Amino acid sequence: MRKKIALLTAASLLASVVALSGCGGGGAAPTQAAGGAEKTEAKAESADAGSDSKEALHLTFYYPVNVGGSAAQLIENLCNDFNAENPDIVVEPVYTGNYDDTVTKLQTAVQGGTPPEVFVSLATQRFTMASTGMAMPLDDLIAADPDGQEYIDDFLPGFMEDSYVDGQIYSIPFQRSTMVMFYNKDAFKEVGLDPEKPPTTWDEVVEYGQKLTNDNRYGVGLALNSGSAQWAFTGFCLQNSENGENLMTEDGKAVMFDTPGNIEALQFWLDLQNKYEIMAPGIVQWTDLPTQFLAGEVAMIYHTTGNMANISQNAEFEFGTCFLPGGKRQAAPTGGGNFYISNGLSEDRVQAAWKFIRFMTEPERAAQWSLDTGYVATRQTCFETDLMKNYYEELPQAKVAYEQIDIAKPELTTYNAAEIWRILNDNIQSAVVGDATPEEALKAAQEQATEVLAEYQ
Amino acid sequence: MKKRKTIGAMITIFAVLLGILWLIPLIWLIGTAFSVPSFHMTLFPTTSFTLDNIKYVWNAIPFGTYYINTLILVVCTFAVQFVTSTMAAYALGVLDFKGSALVFAVIFMQIIIPNDVLITPNFMTLSEMKLVDTKIGMMLPFYGSALAIFLLRQHFKSIPRALAEAARIDGATTWQTIWRVYMPCAKPAYLSFAVISVSYHWNNYLWPLIVTNSPANRTLTVGLAIFAKSKEANMQWANVCAAAFIIIIPLLLAFFVAQKQFMSSFVSAGIKE
């Protein structure tokens, strides 16, 4: 197959060359080629100028942007700062779309023999990265670093938890988030609820929700679209578990979707919609939920801390944030992207990549990154910086996210995570639209997921 | 007679409704792009007029470079396709050499292979040729087009041989015959293929994203993605619309200016995309 394609490509190439030289009409392509050559020369020159004695090491860094245009600019600036500080290394940042596009580009680049040295991908991708050999374990680097262990211990345990594959560290937390509850204090006052006492249990969610719901407003908002439902579901299942069991085993090889607790959690969602009628029926999109909250159409929403800036800038009412209300216990899911280093690099490149990761996660820098993007700062020392202290003074609502990390657990993470996510999402949706009971849906999800994971046992 | 009139009126009403349906997203997009961001979703803007969204988006990423790159990509790709496809179609449709049916069958099979499947093999070929992250690498896989060859071959076949023979008697060379007889006759096919090729490459996202790394080589769709795919927190519709507006405006203008010609060529070429 590949041969045939190569043959076809060669044939079309030949045709175009013949065409160009034959008629002399399409002069565009040759000038293009010349332009390309010129540019590589220019590139090499600038690299020479960068270092006096030896040639600078070029690293490629793939990063997805998930929180808006300014984040891309911020990353570019951070890389420029790094390059200025390290004249012997040149990091070239490459924007790679969203998380899915990044994985596609990464896989293609690896197969083409030109993998990036460093990349950011979802923490949940780590089993895939390890099993396909795309990323390398970082333990040796940490051990060789004088303050390596200290560095790792400084990360919030809730975030560090999903960096391990079979006991080895494969990734370093970077752009991480958690889910909190945003609530409309004005609406609370309007219906006679204490705006300083947000709901702390599922029962209170129902009780408050019933008071808050009227003709123009729903009490509770949850995004149940594919790609978001699994995140909130992790949270609800953790809250309803006997001993804080997650949806999967720690080694990422098995899922526990159809436990009685989880079935109850899904039933609770349906009850919010159908029994109590305090949540919009059907499926509300993740990206629409904050908009509805800001428009006053929903009084309490489950959403990412990444929305803090948006909501604090645009809310025309007083808003509060709080821990996710608990069922049997309080718990919340974490999410977001981590740094990885590609497998099979030369030693000097690995060292340079590690240096870059250390640079990007320095406390001051991680704190600034958190302020600029809305992600939660990843290290304990970040919260001792003046930057962070001032920020929390200005916007006390933001602090909830940090405090909540103590009780937060990683979101659904397994081998072949993308497929397992799809299975869970599809089945949750079939329950939401009424095609299956929660029990049927989760049993089906369990069966399908077990089949997919069978090859990793 | 009366019946026919009512049917005609109904068709007109239906067409107008379809037209309005087509216009709604466009009206919303332009309205949202040019008004102060609001979190109430309405078809017509309720907030005041502003150019800030456009300004913000334009300055957030190098749209100027992306514009030039997209133009180079679209124009060069089509120019090469124009030459290669004409020659291939002439060879396959007019010259009728031994084995031409087989060659045509092989080319035709390409139409059923979706481009996305070819991303990895194409990338690997380019990687071996050291053409990753170059504009020429981005265009190379599209220099031959099975669809264009097919379209033109069918058109060339329908042109009476007598015309070409008459040209030959008047002393025309093969080049002149193609240039003066075949190409003018196949104008609708060229035009409709141009629309397909240009809009495909203008909108193509994944391939340019994967094959290029440096901003100097990237295209408009990659720029749009920074806004449109940033949906972890909330959708910034004003920015998304502003970016989309910047990107669609040239094609939109081209369509309004030349729509009559496009329509008639699509009708006579008998294709839809």
Reduced to 3 states, what is the DSSP secondary structure of residue A38? helix
Residue B57 covered by a domain = no
B85 and B46 in a single domain? The answer is no
* Whether the predicted pLDDT of A326 surpasses 60: yes
**C-alpha dihedral sign at A120, A122, A128, A131:** positive
Tell me the two tokens of residue A424.
């869970």
Which DSSP helix (H) or strand (E) runs through A339? strand A332-341
Q: What pLDDT is recorded for position B271?
A: 59
B212 and B96, same domain (yes or no): yes
B59 assigned to some structural domain: no
CATH superfamily of A54-176+336-391: Periplasmic binding protein-like II (3.40.190.10)
Together in a domain, B214 and B126:
yes
List pLDDT tens digits, range B220-262: 998 888 888 766 667 778 888 999 999 999 988 988 888 887 7
Task: For residues B44 and B121, state if they share a domain.
Answer: no
B20 and B77 assigned to the same domain:
no
Taking Cα atoms as reference points, which of B204, B234, B175, B241 lies closest to residue B36? B241
Confidence of residue B266 (pLDDT cuts 50, 70, 90): confident
CATH number at residue B223: 1.10.3720.10
B34 and B154 within one domain? no
The tokens for B49 are 């007029």
Residues in B touching A9 (Cβ below 8 Å): 122, 125, 140-141
Contacts of A6 (CB under 8 A, 6+ apart): B121, B125
- Helix, strand or coil, per DSSP, at residue A171: coil
Nearest-5° Cα angle at A80, A78 to A86: 105
A303 three-state secondary structure: strand
pLDDT at B116: 85
Number of structural domains, chain B? 2
Structure ipTM: 0.81
B6 lies in which domain range? 1-50
Q: What is the mean pLDDT of residues B129-147?
A: 93
Q: Among all chains, which residue has been given the structure tokens 């329908």? A: B158
Q: Tell me whether residues B75 and A286 touch, CB distance under 8 A.
A: no
**Contact residues for A233 (Cβ-Cβ < 8 A; gap 6+):** A247, A265, A266, A412, A424, A428
Chain A CB contacts of B57 under 8 Å are 69
A431 Cβ neighbours under 8 A, 6+ residues apart? A266, A270, A437, A438, A440, A441, A442
CB contact under 8 A, B226 and A2: no
The whole-angstrom separation of Cα A20 and Cα B193 is: 20
Contact yes or no for A5 and B40 at CB 8 A = no
Q: How many CB atoms lie within 10 A of CB A427?
A: 27
Residues B69 and B46 in one domain: no
Is B225 contained in some domain?
Answer: yes
In Å, how far from its chain's centre is CA A134?
Answer: 18
Copy the structure tokens of residue A67: 């929180």
Q: Are A123 and A413 in contact (CB under 8 A)?
A: yes
Cα separation of A297 and B45, whole Å? 19
pLDDT value at B139 more than 90: yes
Helix axes B237-269, B2-33, angle to 10 degrees: 150
Segments of A156-244 assigned E as strands: 164-165, 168-169, 172-184, 218-221
* A188, A296 contact by CB (below 8 A): no
Retrieve residue A18's tokens: 């013949």
Per the CB < 8 A criterion, the answer to whether A248 and A414 are in contact is yes
Is there a contact between B141 and B118 (Cβ–Cβ < 8 Å)? yes
The pLDDT tens digits of the residues spanning B18-62 come to 999 989 999 999 999 999 887 777 788 888 899 999 998 888 888
* Average pLDDT of the segment spanning A238-248: 92
Q: What is the DSSP track for B71-86?
A: HHHHHHHHHHHHHHHH
Window A:300-339, CB contacts with B under 8 Å: 304, 306-307, 310, 314
Best residue in A5, A70, A293, A294 for a mutation probing chain B (most B CBs within 10 Å): A5
State whether B202 and B116 are in the same domain: yes
Whether the Cβ atoms of residue B118 and residue B155 lie closer than 8 Å to each other: no
Same domain? For B72 and B16 the reply is no
Residue B58 forms part of a structural domain:
no
Q: B221 contacts in A (CB within 8 Å)?
A: none
Are the beta carbons of A70 and B60 closer than 8 angstroms?
Answer: yes
Question: Tokens standing for B169?
Answer: 């008697």
User: Residues of A with CB below 8 A from B122's CB?
Assistant: 5, 9
**Residues in A 148-177 with any Cβ partner in B closer than 8 A:** 177
DSSP A213: -
Quick check: is B11 in a domain?
A: yes
Q: How confident is the model at residue B193, as a pLDDT?
A: 92
- Where helices occur in A112-228 by DSSP H, the ranges are 126-131, 139-144, 148-154, 157-160, 185-190, 202-212
Over 80: is that where the pLDDT of A284 sits?
Answer: yes
CA distances from A38 to A17, A41, B134, B139 (A): 20, 5, 11, 18
Q: What phi, psi does A345 have (nearest 5°)?
A: -90, 160
Query: According to the model, what pLDDT value does residue A7 have?
Result: 44
* Domain ranges within chain A, ordered by starting residue: 54-176+336-391, 178-334+403-456
Query: What are the phi and psi torsion angles at A63 (to 5°)?
Result: -140, 135
pLDDT in tens, A253-282: 999 999 999 999 999 999 999 999 999 999
Select the CATH number that applies to the domain covering A178-334+403-456 from these four: 3.30.300.180, 3.40.50.970, 3.20.20.70, 3.40.190.10: 3.40.190.10
Contact A161, A124 (CB under 8 A): no
User: For position B4, what pLDDT does the model report?
Assistant: 82
Q: Which site among A2, A17, A32, A373 would you substitute to test the B interface, given the most B Cβ atoms closer than 10 Å to its Cβ?
A: A32
Domain co-membership, B39 together with B135: no
Answer yes or no: do B37 and B96 share one domain: no
Residue B198 covered by a domain? yes
Tokens of A51: 């270092």
The verdict on B146 touching A (C-beta cutoff 8 Å) is no
Question: Encoding tokens for residue A88?
Answer: 């012997």
Of B56, B57, B213, the CB nearest to A60: B213
The span from the CA of A71 to the CA of B225, in Å, is 13
Predicted pLDDT at A360: 96
Using CB atoms, pick whichever of B110, B126, B135 lies closest to residue A36: B135
Q: Is the dihedral of CA B165, B170, B175, B181 positive or negative?
A: negative
DSSP string computed for A392-444? HHH-GGGHHHHHHGGGEEEPS--TTHHHHHHHHHHHHHHHHTTSS-HHHHHHH
Does one domain contain both B154 and B241? yes
d(CA A358, CA A89): 14
- CA A150 to chain B, closest CA, distance in angstroms equals 31
Nearest to A350 by CA among A50, A154, A89: A89
CB contact under 8 A, A29 and B225: no
Which residues on chain B are in Cβ contact (under 8 Å) with A8?
A: 106, 110, 144
Q: Whose CA is closest to A97, among B228, B59, B116?
A: B228
Quick check: A168 pLDDT over 70?
yes
pLDDT for residue A8 is more than 60? no
Angle at which helices A260-270 and A229-239 pack, to 10 degrees? 120
Question: How far apart are alpha carbons B253 and B247 in whole angstroms?
Answer: 11
